[in-house]
Amino acid sequence: MSSGFKSPLIQTKSSKPLSIANATALTSQMQSFFSEIKDPRVPRTRAHLLADILIIGILSVIAGGKGWEDMENYGLSKYDWLKEFLALPNGIPCPDTFRRVFERIDHKVFERCFQKWVQSIVETVGAQVIPIDGKTLRGSYDREQGKSTLHLVSAWASEYRLVLGQVKVADKSNEITAIPALLELLDLAGCIIKIDAMGTQHAIATQIYNAKADYILALKANHPTLHDQVKTWFDQVIALNFEGITFSYDERVEKGHHRTEKRQVWSVPVSQLPALHQQSDWLGLQTVVMVVRVRHLWNKTTREVQFYLTSLQSDALILGKAIRLHWGIENGLHWTLDVTFNEDACRIRTGHAPQNLGLLRRIALNALNREQSLKRSNRQKSNRAAMDNNYMLTILAACFSQYDDVSKAACQ
């Protein structure tokens, strides 16, 4: 008799079990990084340890949790495992406990602790492109309380795919005030800082240059005189085929996602241009760049022209790559936060909770990006961590340089 169709036997490599001793060491390391955070609760109401609340919160978000109820559910589901390396004197905190704690934790202190942890991962950022950009948490507004949406400015290490820092934009302010505060937190020496037009300011350029870093600043209509001057000059010299002008040129064509994109980059030393408007105020300015992007989609063709000011020397290949890497913060950070962590839909908005939960998401994103043994998307890594306690420990191990050998034990 025919045996019929049989499902193929699927064999997978099992991950090397990590002991409770590993879990205890990892959580102790986590506690040391966040030890600066003070418990905001009245002593008589502290039924649960602050360290337990923080660690369960981080693990829950890594596993795909979106809010306070998810933190409780994760704790209850993993209670037998968690109690082996956490104190949990009164079991798992309820959702209201998680909410009250994260509403009241000083977000500035939490951000400093985050910085200390990132610095332990990357002792030196090295010469790489660091895009800086802002993101609005669209669900954080509260119409009844007259509270506007929360806007966070983040720095992204393009090489390591890590969030280096986060600063909240003050109410009734904009990124111009937040970017200098974020730059103060970072060791910028040797890096290339890429900022969109909002950060194209004399003071910001000076701050970056004095920190022994280089800048690439987008030049748009918020500097109308300088923008029009640069645009007019490029129009004229292109018509004359750059006759008598020293310049650098690079061209790239990329195909994918049902589109073809052609990028042309011209970089010209400022010495080749007539005196620019307020040129002396741009400390370290060496080069002006023009980028032309032509995208051929299935139903239309678009053309975009952008200009940049930079303290780097005129090399169109290097400058074009650095400008292109700015998309890393859009795709690797902002898009992932919305798609994997559903950040825009989050309606948590009271106290410091939006900033602190936003920081938990960035901790989780850094942790998932650091773990490279499982070749899957961050969403699948998150799902795996929710189901497999050993893989969750592998992700945590990847967050600490001294445990890198452990993180290689995860299944392929």
CA-only gyration radius of the chain, Å = 25
**Which DSSP symbol is given to 142?**
B
When pLDDT is averaged across residues 396-408 and rounded to a whole number, the result is: 60
pLDDT at 408: 42
d(Cα 184, Cα 204) in Å, to the nearest integer? Answer: 11
Provide the residue count of the chain. 412
pLDDT averaged over every residue in the chain: 87
Q: Among residues 88, 208, 151, 181, which one has the least CA distance to residue 358? A: 151
How does pLDDT run across 3-28, given as a tens digit for each residue? 444 444 433 344 556 667 888 888 88
Lowest model confidence (mean pLDDT) among 22-36, 98-112, 273-287: 22-36
- What percent of the chain is modeled with pLDDT above 70? 88
Q: Among residues 101, 264, 122, 89, which one has the least CA distance to residue 190? A: 122
How does pLDDT run across 136-169, given as a tens digit for each residue? 887 666 656 666 678 889 999 888 889 999 988 8
pTM of the model: 0.85
- What percent of the chain is modeled with pLDDT above 90? 63
How does pLDDT run across 312-366, given as a tens digit for each residue? 999 999 999 999 988 888 888 888 888 888 888 888 888 899 999 999 999 999 9
Asked if residue 214 lies in contact with residue 208, where contact means CB atoms within 8 angstroms, the answer is yes
Lowest model confidence (mean pLDDT) among 285-294, 314-323, 370-379, 392-401: 392-401
pLDDT at 309: 98
Lowest model confidence (mean pLDDT) among 147-156, 214-223, 248-257: 147-156
Q: Is the pLDDT of residue 293 over 90?
A: yes
pLDDT band at residue 131, thresholds of 50, 70 and 90?
A: very high
Identify the burial level of 280 via C-beta atoms within 10 angstroms of its C-beta, where 0-12 means exposed, 13-18 middle and 19 or more buried: exposed
pLDDT at 172: 54
